[in-house]
Structure 1
Amino acid sequence: MSVPFVSQPTCPPVNPARGSLWMGLGLLVAQLLWPAEALAADKVRLQLRWLHQFQFAGYYMALEKGFYRQAGLDVDILPGGPQAAKPIEALLAGEVDFAIANSGLVIARMQGQPVVALAAIMQRSPVVWIVRADSDIYAPQDLAGKRVMLLDPPESAELRLTLLREGLDLDRLQVSPPSFDPQDLVDGRTDAYNGYTANEPFWLQQRQIDYRLINPHEYGVNFYNDVLATREALLDERPEQVEAFVRASLRGWQYALDNLEESVQLIHRRYAPGKSLEHLRFEAQELKKLIMPELVQLGHMNPGRWQTIADSYVELGMAKDTSNLGGFVYRGQAHTDHRLLYQVVGGATLALLLLGAVALRFAHLTKRLRLEIAARRQAEQELRNSNLKLEHLASTDRLTGLWTRLRLEEVAQNEIKRAERYDLPLCLIFFDIDRFKAINDQHGHEVGDQVLREVAHRIKAQLRDSDCLCRWGGEEFIILMPHADLEHAVVMAEKLRILVAGNPVAGNPVAGAPVTGQIVVTASFGVAQWQPGQNLREWVQCADQALYLAKQSGRNRIECYAPPIPQPLP
């Protein structure tokens, strides 16, 4: 791609009477002091993941608005596509200096490849399954026995991990490679289409075809996407160039997101004339939701989240271990503007003295700036660590390690919305330990705490990954069971009742303390299925009423809430 030509400034005129010596010295000083952008720009190459579209708007705008040129870079942007080189392979082969990859970049690092993640543009992945609205598919479990399109790993890792977490083996699906033609979904040749939220939905809306999305994000799978990457050798050899490219690229992304219509028009005119303006506008709006510039800093990467993503690839069998992640996440450099603009005004001695004075001054300022930036980054990291600790404390019960009531309420609200939207079954099991006060009175509060921890541990070990267990208060617990009807929940409650009653708890809460005997523990259970129109408070009250009935009926039993039957009008 061509870069607009910029004329090179010339040195100030020199009086011929001063002789060739003065001219030579003047030219030397001018070269030392002239602005960096006036010198020859470094040639670098960027490999995209796919064909030109708004997905790469920030890089186009950094080029077109001169941000790369101002950083001393001459950038070639190479489109991807079926016939293009794979970005990571081209990067490692030295064919390009930078590349755009998905979160699968971390697999290459775990395999010992010297790749470095510089910035994550999309904070959430756009990868989804698209199903027809008139189908019976609402959740991943509904894909069992269905015809499902699925990209090869790691491109489809988010979808594969969703299936694994929801307990659905690939053997139970009729899997086929993607056709990249959503008409197959419309014509019924597939039941679930592996697509992007920013692409195929526009095509379906244009044809007035109703659809639903199965989004891994709604099931706790949260990967980065469109990650800017380089190789370690380039970072070691030219760290200033890498830093300049990252900063100019993020500046381009900020401009693109602040000026969506201008960016759409330019991309349509210069890069993607085959895509309509309407499609590019749709893509821009959808991708902005995934980039989330209002919530996080552009390009933000959390090392802890990368560790979670790496662990997910190991869980899927795409990598063996996460021992090679050191140095994978780019930390950036303190940014100091070294560009100077001076005019040669005298002889060589005066110019060199001036240069020396300026160099000393800048060295002092640079040292101060780096110290201030280091202190600020340390303070920011301490604040982030403190926020994470507070969030953990607020959502975790300190005694049992279970979710708190506040955390369960947040998740339950989301599950109610999903049940309303997709007409899914949703159940609640409310249980507490029978005669717990007597246990405290007879054996002491330390033993009582041991009973709570032991019961919580046993119950949690029997639940599905999608079930949520929380300590509601005191000896009361609640289990939230998505995608489970009343019959399923009652079977689970009976299994848990037998488990609690059949396994006494040892009364020695402190290591080394004498055993006070085996304590027989029982629990009573109330089960309620969510009814359309119920809010969370009403639903919990129904389960509580069933629990109260179990207590009144003799304890160590299960009762179900039965909604009142409407009486006919007289």
Structure 2
Amino acid sequence: MLVRTRGQRWFAAVLLVIQAFAPATAWAADNVRLQLRWLHQFQFAGYYMALEKGFYRDAGLQVEILPGGPGSAKPMAALLADEADFAIANSGVIIARMAGDPVVALAAIMQRSPIVWIVRADSGIYSPHDLDGKRVMLMPEPESSELRITLAHEGIDPKQLQIQHTSFNPQDLIDGKTDAYDGYISNEPFWLRQQGVGYRLIDPHEYGVNFYNDVLITREGLLQERPEQVEAFTQASLAGWRYALEHIEESVQLIHRRFAPDKSLEHLRFEARELKKLIMPELVQLGHMNPGRWQTIAEDYVELGLAQGPVNLEGFIYRGPPKADNGLLYRALAGALAALLLVGGVALRFVHLTHRLRSEIELRRQAEEELRRSNSQLERLANTDRLTGQCSRLKLEDLAHAEIKRAERHDLPLSLAFLDIDHFKSINDQYGHDVGDLVLSGLAQKIKAQLRETDSLCRWGGEEFIILMPHTDLDHARVMAEKFRALLAAEPLVDQIRVTASFGVAQWQPGQGLGELVHCADLMLYRAKKLGRNRVEFFSHSHIQPLV
């Protein structure tokens, strides 16, 4: 007896609906080609599983999956040249659409982009501003757009950087041939851990850049000619992704065996865990696309000079199969109702139609409510650090700008403490990153419990945290920082693991922006590290002791 999983039963039901309303010969046994963005890896697991579990076959499709990578066709070019029927692209697909190319976005698999800069832990680079004058790798546009938009949001001219072409070899970071390597959060970090190299990430998401990635696309002509085939392929692919994310180990084993034998099982498992965080299947419906978010992405591309405005998304976002013209149906129903009136059965028919309409209204209300919840969850996720539950960097920047304006308007004190866990790399090296994550969460909880309601705690990046203290002068902020330092050093955080932290404290001065305030606190944090760690140093504008 054939036993179907929940995902397979769901897809079979959707397929029956599609087949019931589609012409019988519209897409039977069609051969279609899918062009990937890169070499075979877990990044494309959903399509492999749709093929392996028969979702494509059940949809009447015979699918050929074409790998990307060096020497392979570019997905967009292959699609427009009719060398592929479907392709995987990044958010740059909107640039092609605005330039007049007939491309349509069917589903966004990743709700967040995996593209980051990776810097060595010993580099002294913590934020985009620290890249000034440094050697920075960037892929050609639009592949590097998330990183370039980050620079634009931070007011950094790319001419201040030494731009290098991407080498696709993270060994260059280890060998000192570059200062910032652009890679995927789901890929190169695993390799660096294997090499025992400490690193930090500069993630565009922490600076308000929120792009989709791995967008399934097709040609407008194909959608117009064979809408049932496009719908069937899209639904089968999403069913494959559901299965892959619910059966990660099975998917990893299949990809290693059939598609990527050169990639270790451990590497594929790491990639799967990281990508699932970006796909967010627990929070957002697979493939979900928000028109407002696409509008913002398009405007960012216009700001970079990669596209010409005004932004027009008409026809770009796939809305599902075209709906039939119901005019004739309504006229027929009107005639039927008239006939039923003559025979006295109109009341029964009216009750039936009313019940059906109410059901459809309720279904639409539920769908709208689910969309509102998804958008609300996405907003909360953007404002909260996923590991510690505290403010994200983006949220703290919003809070800090508001507090600075309040301090200027009412002549109020405002202070900031920058703290860093001492020798945190040794904890990760000795106990593993899972224990390191517990240490970070434990530290955040311990400090948060001591803060006032008006204070804010933010995980700035890695093992660094910032405490924003409104209505607080420098002397009071020093006392609070010393209290936090002593509290952390007093007892173990996790399983007898003791940690200490170094603190840099600074008070906002009229005319300062957030960047200058953070810089002052960071200088003091650096001083605390140099003077032996596990101490508090404060920034005095009247006198700064030089480091010997």
TM > 0.5: yes
Asked if the contact 2:91–2:213 (Cα under 8 Å) also holds between the matched residues in 1, the reply is yes
| 1:216 partnered with 2:216 | no
| 1:479 partnered with 2:395 | no
* TM-score of the two chains, using structure 1 as the length reference: 0.61
| 1:544 partnered with 2:471 | yes
1:86 matched to which residue of 2? 74
For 1:254, the aligned partner's letter is R
Alignment partner of 1:379 out of 356, 361, 365 = 365
1:274-353 → structure 2 map (5 Å cutoff): 274-333=262-321
Q: Return closer, same or farther for 1:391/1:289 CA change in 2, 3 Å cut-off.
A: closer
| 1:528 partnered with 2:455 | no
Q: Return closer, same or farther for 1:536/1:182 CA change in 2, 3 Å cut-off.
A: farther
For 2:416, the aligned partner's letter is Q
| 1:144 partnered with 2:98 | no
| 1:167 partnered with 2:155 | yes
Kindly state the Cα deviation for residue 94 of structure 1 after the two structures are TM-superposed: 1.4
For 2:471, the aligned partner's letter is D
For 2:205, the aligned partner's letter is H
Look up the SS of the partner of 2:221 in the other structure.
Answer: helix
Asked if the contact 1:112–1:324 (Cα under 8 Å) also holds between the matched residues in 2, the reply is no
Q: Return closer, same or farther for 1:172/1:73 CA change in 2, 3 Å cut-off.
A: same
| CA–CA distance in structure 2, aligned partners of residues 116 and 246 of structure 1 | 12
Kindly state the Cα deviation for residue 479 of structure 1 after the two structures are TM-superposed: 2.5
Q: Return closer, same or farther for 1:480/1:258 CA change in 2, 3 Å cut-off.
A: farther
| 1:240 partnered with 2:156 | no
Asked if the contact 2:383–2:391 (Cα under 8 Å) also holds between the matched residues in 1, the reply is no
Kindly state the Cα deviation for residue 544 of structure 1 after the two structures are TM-superposed: 2.2
Q: Return closer, same or farther for 1:544/1:115 CA change in 2, 3 Å cut-off.
A: same
| CA–CA distance in structure 2, aligned partners of residues 333 and 168 of structure 1 | 44
| CA–CA distance in structure 2, aligned partners of residues 391 and 200 of structure 1 | 29
Asked if the contact 1:146–1:173 (Cα under 8 Å) also holds between the matched residues in 2, the reply is yes
Look up the SS of the partner of 1:525 in the other structure.
Answer: coil
Asked if the contact 1:527–1:558 (Cα under 8 Å) also holds between the matched residues in 2, the reply is no
| CA–CA distance in structure 2, aligned partners of residues 312 and 282 of structure 1 | 31
| 1:154 partnered with 2:142 | yes
Q: Return closer, same or farther for 1:372/1:255 CA change in 2, 3 Å cut-off.
A: farther
Asked if the contact 2:284–2:374 (Cα under 8 Å) also holds between the matched residues in 1, the reply is no
| 1:252 partnered with 2:233 | no
Asked if the contact 1:178–1:194 (Cα under 8 Å) also holds between the matched residues in 2, the reply is yes
Look up the SS of the partner of 1:180 in the other structure.
Answer: coil
| CA–CA distance in structure 2, aligned partners of residues 85 and 254 of structure 1 | 28
| CA–CA distance in structure 2, aligned partners of residues 410 and 53 of structure 1 | 28
| CA–CA distance in structure 2, aligned partners of residues 262 and 408 of structure 1 | 34
Comparing 382-391 and 139-148, the one that deviates more = 382-391
Asked if the contact 1:546–1:559 (Cα under 8 Å) also holds between the matched residues in 2, the reply is no
2:489 matched to which residue of 1? none
| CA–CA distance in structure 2, aligned partners of residues 143 and 108 of structure 1 | 30
Task: Write the deviation string for residues 312-338 of structure 1: whole angstroms up to 9, x where unpaired.
Answer: 1111111011443101111113999xx
Q: Return closer, same or farther for 1:386/1:63 CA change in 2, 3 Å cut-off.
A: closer
* TM-score of the two chains, using structure 2 as the length reference: 0.63
Kindly state the Cα deviation for residue 45 of structure 1 after the two structures are TM-superposed: 0.8
- Structure 2 unaligned regions, length at least 5: 1-19, 325-352, 420-446, 457-467, 477-508, 513-535, 539-548
For 2:451, the aligned partner's letter is N
| 1:67 partnered with 2:55 | yes
Task: Write the deviation string for residues 30-72 of structure 1: whole angstroms up to 9, x where unpaired.
Answer: xx9xx979x9511111111111111111111111111101001
| CA–CA distance in structure 1, aligned partners of residues 260 and 236 of structure 2 | 22
Asked if the contact 1:109–1:324 (Cα under 8 Å) also holds between the matched residues in 2, the reply is no
Asked if the contact 1:310–1:322 (Cα under 8 Å) also holds between the matched residues in 2, the reply is no
Kindly state the Cα deviation for residue 88 of structure 1 after the two structures are TM-superposed: 0.9
Q: Return closer, same or farther for 1:542/1:315 CA change in 2, 3 Å cut-off.
A: closer
Asked if the contact 2:172–2:178 (Cα under 8 Å) also holds between the matched residues in 1, the reply is yes
1:500 matched to which residue of 2? none
Asked if the contact 2:207–2:393 (Cα under 8 Å) also holds between the matched residues in 1, the reply is no
| CA–CA distance in structure 1, aligned partners of residues 88 and 356 of structure 2 | 30
1:91-102 → structure 2 map (5 Å cutoff): 91-102=79-90
Task: Write the deviation string for residues 102-125 of structure 1: whole angstroms up to 9, x where unpaired.
Answer: 000111111111110000111110
Q: Return closer, same or farther for 1:233/1:168 CA change in 2, 3 Å cut-off.
A: same
Task: Write the deviation string for residues 188-228 of structure 1: whole angstroms up to 9, x where unpaired.
Answer: 11000000011111111111111111000111111100000
| 1:270 partnered with 2:195 | no
Look up the SS of the partner of 2:117 in the other structure.
Answer: strand
| CA–CA distance in structure 2, aligned partners of residues 119 and 376 of structure 1 | 25
Q: Return closer, same or farther for 1:417/1:200 CA change in 2, 3 Å cut-off.
A: same
Asked if the contact 1:119–1:227 (Cα under 8 Å) also holds between the matched residues in 2, the reply is yes
CA RMSD of aligned residues (A): 4.3
- Structure 1 unaligned regions, length at least 5: 1-31, 337-366, 396-406, 420-425, 429-464, 471-477, 482-492, 498-522, 550-556, 566-570
2:494 matched to which residue of 1? none
| CA–CA distance in structure 2, aligned partners of residues 559 and 48 of structure 1 | 50
| CA–CA distance in structure 2, aligned partners of residues 70 and 386 of structure 1 | 33
Task: Write the deviation string for residues 412-454 of structure 1: whole angstroms up to 9, x where unpaired.
Answer: x9887769xxxxxx9x9xxxxxxxxxxxxxxxxxxxxxxxxxx
Task: Write the deviation string for residues 366-391 of structure 1: whole angstroms up to 9, x where unpaired.
Answer: x9999789645642464368669999
Kindly state the Cα deviation for residue 171 of structure 1 after the two structures are TM-superposed: 0.7
Asked if the contact 2:283–2:377 (Cα under 8 Å) also holds between the matched residues in 1, the reply is no
Q: Return closer, same or farther for 1:256/1:389 CA change in 2, 3 Å cut-off.
A: closer
Q: Return closer, same or farther for 1:135/1:300 CA change in 2, 3 Å cut-off.
A: same
